[in-house]
Structure 1
Amino acid sequence: MGLTITPLEGQPLGAKVTLPEGCHDPSTLSAEDFKTLYDGLHEHLVLVIPGMKDLSPESQWKLTTMFDPTCDQTGKSYGHGKEFRHDKSVLRRDGTSIPAFPQVQVLGQGDWPAGHEGLEAFTLRHPVHFDFHKSPLTDEEAYQKNLTRFYRWHIDSALYDLSPPVCTTLLGIHVPPHSRKQKIVYDDGDELELTQGATAFVSGARAFDLLSPEEQKRALGAKVVYAPHPYIFISPARATSDGLTMVSEKKEMPLDALPPWEESKVKELPLVWTNPVTKKHHLQVHGCCIYRLKFADGTVLELEDARNEVHRMMRPAIASKNVYAHDWESGDLAIFFNRGVWHSVTGQFSPGERRLMHQCNIASGKDPVCLSEDSLYGEAVDHVMGSSGKEEIAA
């Protein structure tokens, strides 16, 4: 029996994958089974394969590259490193690299002894909203009432020089055995109960569908300009309480104080990206890193106004009914379509609790595009493993 995909019951997105009998490594799937996996990822946006605790970093890296023939297949270029580990970057404490396969990052929480995948003793820190949001929860709210926040809604990408990865793979190796429930309370009274440390996902297609027809038309012609070295640029600033964007207080690092940067490497991407399989439009924007928003009619919104505008567009999509919060079990391998979803860390851990995960995403060789309605069904998109990247043909 071949690979099967079963939609998650009662969830707004996501599906469970059952590998073919006898297959324990998804990077070794046949071309036919991988095509099913590829199409399923673009349709369901998040796929979960249970029982992958022993998947090697090499196999995880190989599987990740299989979803994008335009990305570097040699392992020499993978799209993170200096940009993410810079001592001023907001991402600097979020993990460490596996020595033999630096394309794979080790994420989690707690102190770990030497020996894991060739690493010396290391300490992991789960990203928490306390030192990133402008107005964080109190300790009483977080640790006694078990409230939490979306840390930062985002797309995995350097957003400077490099193109956004097509997919991310995230493997849960060690998960606290008695995870407790935590709750997100929205500004409008909406609530979302989730398991401690759940990863939250929303569909960019759902976000686009929630816009009015007039807003959709305007969004289809819009471009997002990201700040140079965006994670360093925003490091002195603080985020909104929903994790969608930054509060504008003129605290950002001045452009002339950033590490050297080139105008040609500043990323300008469509506000809307087209799914190469379903042909759906996805509102895909990293609200925290936006610098400028440009519309087809010549209107340009600068930093604060750009943030306000994307926040207005993004906010309906994170309502609790639209969120899939993955409850991690040891061995879960989550594969998500990074060009079709936004995701966020949630939760906080108590002293002594530990978690260990492997994450991999590889910068693509080409930027995403927004196809016009005229070309949407006219373009022949070769999305099978080994394609030439025709999904990148611009309208």
Structure 2
Amino acid sequence: MVITATVTEDAPVLHIAAPKGKQSLPHADKSTGRVVLIKHSASSAVDFGAEIYGIDLNNFTDADFDFISDALHKHKLLVFKEQPEMLTPQQQYRLTSSFDPEEKTGGFAHGHDPFLISHNGTNFYGIPKRPAIPVQPQVHILGRGPLPDGHFGFPPGFEVQGIDHEEFHLPPHIPPDEREAGASRFYQWHFDGSLYNIPPPRVGCLLAVRTPKGADVTVRWEDEEGTTMKMAPGATAMVAGSRALALLDDETREIVLHSRIEYAPHAFVWMAGARSSRLGHLIETEGLEKKLEDLPKWEKEKVCVYPMVWKNAVTGEQSLQVHGQGAFKLYLKKSSEGEETVVDDLKEVRAFMDKIMRPVLKPENIYAHPHKEQDVILWYNRALWHSITEFPKSYGPRVMHQCNVAASDHPSG
């Protein structure tokens, strides 16, 4: 069953319960967790990521959470191995929401989900590329292909509609035969967040339910150098904002340390008819964005204006944390006391975003996480960028449970 739907402003929405938070976790005096750093290749400059052993996420305690929180802020990406059973949506939400006990609404980070379908008396919400699980609507299903039979009450034959760069990227696209042979692209480099009104999540969480089976894919930059990178099919690619900041020249680094980005209102609606760069980090300037007066109703005070550099709430580490595709206006300063220059020409905005984003988007700075079924990954959404990657349809379905919750605060520098 392939479902199509349109998101509208007046679509029915599902009530979302508030998070229970860390205070409701079972108590333990000490965690059973163990950290093992991810081993990167000798040619890699990646300095983040760790595997966690000894914690059953379906039964984690307050001591386990303290252990997890400390490890996450230090290593920015955690991979939970040897889970005895598939993580339940309720526990995935409990884990994710525990990072923000001040957040009271428990809202999904991209706002209300529209009504999708009804089956056997149950209403399902979301969109075909991101349906919500009814028992815990902050947990969505991502990927491509059919769900397992009886998966949380979804209708038989329900298929998640995956990403496809032909629908979004500037042509020429990768020919179908080359895609089926393993040629791939980064779809969109981003941090999770709506970019309008709703604060971006502190953390993101993915459970691998089904993973594609096949040889490594070859991700193409399609640049003048012919840059490529091998990675597991269906991998989630990640880079560190701290590395992005470190790679800038001294003058540019000073600018981003003191500058801000204004994101477009309803940014994803605004850019829906536009086309991405082939690297997936920018929107091409072709005049295809919606006019502001044609967007759903928006309010100036709800427009998100964020510093370009965000600070780790625990370690104090600084990260260049930007969303190139949603950028609408720049407020540039060379120093804290310097004069602010406003850049509102989209071509100039994107040229600057390319300048600060492209240096880190090279193979040596990218960690492509090879998902294993039943493993869970947790990442610090305020320090890492990530992108989905494509894989051949013949490799089978990719079914992931994703949870991210709107934060109680907007990021600060």
The TM-score with structure 1 as length reference comes to 0.86
1:29 corresponds in structure 2 to: 61
Match of 1:14 among 39, 49, 60: 49
Aligned residue in 1 for 2:81: 50
Matched, 1:66 2:86: no
Shift, 1:257, TM fit: 1.0
- Aligned partners of 1:189 and 1:83: how far apart in 2? 40
Q: Single out whichever of 213-222 and 166-175 deviates more from structure 2.
A: 213-222
Give the residue type in structure 1 aligned to 2:70: D
The CA deviation at 1:120 is 2.6
1:319 aligns with 2:362: yes
Give, as a single letter, the amino acid of the residue that structure 1 aligns with 2:35.
Answer: I
Residue 409 of structure 2 corresponds to which residue in structure 1? 366
1:386 matched to which residue of 2?
none
Query: What residue number does 1:168 align with?
Result: 204
Counterpart in the other structure of 1:389 = none
- Any idea what SS the aligned residue of 1:103 has? strand
- Asked whether the 8 Å contact 1:227–1:266 carries over to 2, the reply is yes
Describe the SS at the equivalent of 1:102.
strand
Q: Which secondary structure state, in structure 2, belongs to the residue aligned with residue 308 of structure 1?
A: helix
1:94 matched to which residue of 2? 129
The answer to whether the aligner puts 1:115 opposite 2:150 as a matched pair is: yes
Q: 2:275 aligns with which of 238, 258, 264?
A: 238
Q: Per-residue deviation at 1:263?
A: 0.8
Q: Which residue of 1 aligns with 2:19?
A: none
Residues 329-367 of structure 1: CA deviation (Å, up to 9, x unaligned)? 101100010000000000133158212110000011111
The match for 1:130 among 151, 162, 166 is 166
CA RMSD of aligned residues (A): 2.0
SS in 2 for 1:331: coil
Is 1:300 aligned to 2:342, yes or no? yes
Separation in 1 of the partners of 2:285 and 2:59? Answer: 44
Judge which range, 132-141 or 193-202, deviates more: 132-141
Work out whether residues 128 and 348 of structure 1, in 8 Å CA contact, stay in contact via their aligned partners in 2: no
CA 1:96–1:240: 2 relative to 1, 3 Å: same
Partner of 1:148: 184
Checking the alignment, whether the CA contact within 8 Å between 1:45 and 1:337 is kept in structure 2 is yes
Kept in 2, the 8 Å contact 1:128–1:346? The answer is: no
Pairing of 1:184-199 with structure 2 (within 5 A): 184-186=219-221, 187=223, 188-199=225-236
How many angstroms apart in 2 are the aligned matches of 1:103 and 1:69? 16
Deviates more, 1:354-363 or 1:107-116: 107-116
Structure 1 residue 83: Cα displacement: 7.1
Q: Match for residue 384 of structure 1?
A: none
* 2:248 equivalent to 1:205: no
Post-superposition shift, 1:189? 2.9
Residue 220 of structure 1 and its aligned partner are, at CA, apart by: 1.0
Question: Residue 108 of structure 2: which of 56, 72, 78 is its match?
Answer: 78
- The amino acid across from 1:4 in the alignment is R
Q: Distance in 1 between matches of 2:34 and 2:216?
A: 31
Residue 200 to residue 352, structure 1, CA distance change in 2 (3 Å): closer
User: Which segment is superposed worse, 310-319 or 349-358?
Assistant: 349-358
- How far, CA to CA, are the matches of 1:68 and 1:298 in structure 2? 33
Q: Equivalent residue of 2:328, what SS?
A: strand
Deviation per CA, 1:64-116, whole angstroms, max 9, x where unpaired? 011122323x64x2333447899xxxx95421001121100011211236621
Give the whole-Å Cα distance in 2 for the aligned partners of 1:101 and 1:179: 32
5 Å matches for 1:216-235? 216-235=253-272
Distance in 1 separating the partners of 2:59 and 2:191: 24
Cα separation, 2, equivalents of 1:211 and 1:179: 37
Q: Which runs of 5 or more structure 2 residues have no equivalent in the other structure?
A: 1-30, 117-125, 334-338
TM-score (ref. length: structure 2):
0.82
Alpha carbons of 1:26 and 1:67: their partners in 2 closer, same or farther (altered >3 Å)?
A: farther
Name the residue aligned to 2:34: 4
Partner of 1:310: 353
Higher mean C-alpha displacement, 288-297 vs 157-166: 288-297
CA contact (8 A) 2:180 2:394 kept: no
Measured in 2, the distance between the counterparts of 1:206 and 1:35 equals 26
Instruction: Give distance in 1, aligned partners of 2:294 and 2:361.
Output: 34
Cα distance per residue 1:266-321 (max 9 Å; x no partner):
11111110112221110001111111111133211222211111111111111100
Q: What SS does the aligned partner of 1:369 have? A: coil
**1:225-248 deviations in Å (ceiling 9; x for gaps):** 000110010011000010001000
Cα pair distance change 1:257/1:27, threshold 3 Å: farther
* Percent sequence identity over aligned pairs: 34
Name structure 1 gaps, 5 residues minimum.
371-395
Residue in structure 1 matched with residue 218 of structure 2 by the alignment: 183
1:84 touches 1:158 (CA, 8 Å); kept in 2? no
Instruction: Specify the alignment match of 1:348 in structure 2.
Output: 391
- Aligned AA (1:299): T
Hey, what's the Cα distance between the residues in 1 that align with 2:220 and 2:81?
30
SS at match of 1:208: helix
